[in-house]
Amino acid sequence: MMDETAKAMSFYADERGASRLYAYLAGFEKDPALRKRFAELARVEAVHMAFWRAFLLKRGITTTEPSWFSFAWARLLRRMLGTRRYLSLLEITEATAVDSYYDFLNLAVLEEAEKTNIARIIEDELGHEEELESQFNALPKDNVRDFVMGMNDGLVELLGAVTGLSAVYPTRPQIVGVNGLVVGLAGALSMAIGTWVSVRSQRQVNEGIRRKTDLLFSVAPRRAQAELARKLTESGMPADLTDEITGKLASNKEAMIGLLTEHTSVNEIRSALFTGAAYIIGLLFPVLPYFFARNSFTALILSVLFAGLALATVASIITLTAGSNAFRRKIREMVITGLGAAAASYAFGRLVQAVFGIHA
């Protein structure tokens, strides 16, 4: 059963912190247009905060001020990242707030007026998310997936490799480390090339489809119109709306081509660099301990610890990027699978050691 007051208190603290943060950004921003928008965002968040305060007071709960640490941390991040990059991070976290509000709206016992107000808050938060994304986005979001997946692959694959080698070379950690680096650098190159080929191939496919659609529109516009109608119908649009839309777009070549083809702005070179660099960063966590430890067992403990922390961090980034609030489930999933792969690799290494009689 949902603890309604605890969730409401959390919402109040979030809205209080957001209002304070936007007011701070408004006072700091030199651009008049941005300063005005930040002041408006602060006002809207203050309205949300007032609703949650009243919601709690109605249930006999007195609100408390949020921790000063959260605001201090937000200010530090703003200074480190700059206003635009920091707002890009806020855009990612807005989605998690929307999910939480929607769950509360559907699961909590609420009065009709409260449901109406919470629905309005959700609408406001969705608007904030969209505005932050469209006006302030400064992160290469197309490459967030490349970086996260590259780092995750580097972590899991190299953790498995060095764990297996630790069973074979229990007293030679440096050999394990060197072999891990060799395998890792080869893996990073392979990942980068694979990403480049994949993204480039997809781009070429999309460009080919666009050229064919352009040609079809030029020589047989009615057939192009029929193709658009088919695509809209397959998407679930009613037949009468499909006919109306295709009729209105019949003379708009670019609009029709845009609806019939998939557009991508992903740069294959940048994607490859992000993936390869992230893979190298990921491999460092499980490999580096082997260059400093006295034996492979000690290095293995440190490697598992560092890799587990890194996997938890990657899982948090994935959930934020995806707009999900399932932090614990994702962290548990990634850590268990990553460490499970390492355990299987260690068992295989011991098996190889026993079968072939390798000792070092």
pLDDT tens digits, residue range 188-218? 898 888 888 887 877 777 777 777 777 777 7
Helix, coil or strand: residue 137: coil
355: which 2 tokens?
């079968």
Both 155 and 295 in a single domain? yes
Question: Are 23 and 95 found together in one domain?
Answer: yes
pLDDT at 323: 45
160 and 127 together in one domain? no
> Which of 148-157, 294-303, 325-334 has the weakest average pLDDT?
325-334
Determine the average pLDDT of the residues in 144-168.
78
Q: How many CA atoms lie within 13 A of 181 on its CB side?
A: 9
Pick the last residue of a domain from 136, 158, 187. 136
> What is the pLDDT of the chain when averaged over all its residues?
76
Same domain? 189 vs 288: yes
- For residue 221, what are its two tokens? 């516009």
pLDDT of residue 96: 63
Q: Are 351 and 256 part of one and the same domain?
A: no
Is the Cα dihedral 177, 183, 184, 189 positive or negative? positive
CA distances from 335 to 156, 187, 342, 343, 346 (A): 9, 21, 11, 12, 16
**How many residues can be counted in the chain?**
360
Helix (H, G, I), strand (E, B) or coil at 138: coil
Alpha helix stretches (DSSP H) within the chain: 4-28, 32-58, 68-81, 83-107, 112-136, 141-168, 173-219, 221-234, 239-249, 253-260, 268-287, 296-321, 327-356
Same domain, yes or no: 101 and 20: yes
- 179 and 119, same structural domain? no
pTM metric for this prediction: 0.57
Same domain, 73 and 119: yes
Q: What is the mean pLDDT of residues 263-268?
A: 69
Domain of 238, in residue numbers:
205-260
Confidence at residue 54, expressed as pLDDT on a 0 to 100 scale: 92
Instruction: Indicate whether 38 and 115 sit together in one domain.
Output: yes
| Residue with the larger pLDDT of the pair 126 and 49 | 49
Q: Phi and psi at residue 73, in whole multiples of 5°? A: -65, -40
Quote the distance between the C-alpha of residue 209 and its chain's center.
Answer: 29
Residue 334 pLDDT more than 50? yes
Tokens of 198: 């994949």
Per the structure block, which two tokens stand in for 140? 């290469």
Look at residue 47 and tell me whether its pLDDT is greater than 90: yes
Lowest mean pLDDT among 110-114, 119-123, 247-251, 296-300: 247-251
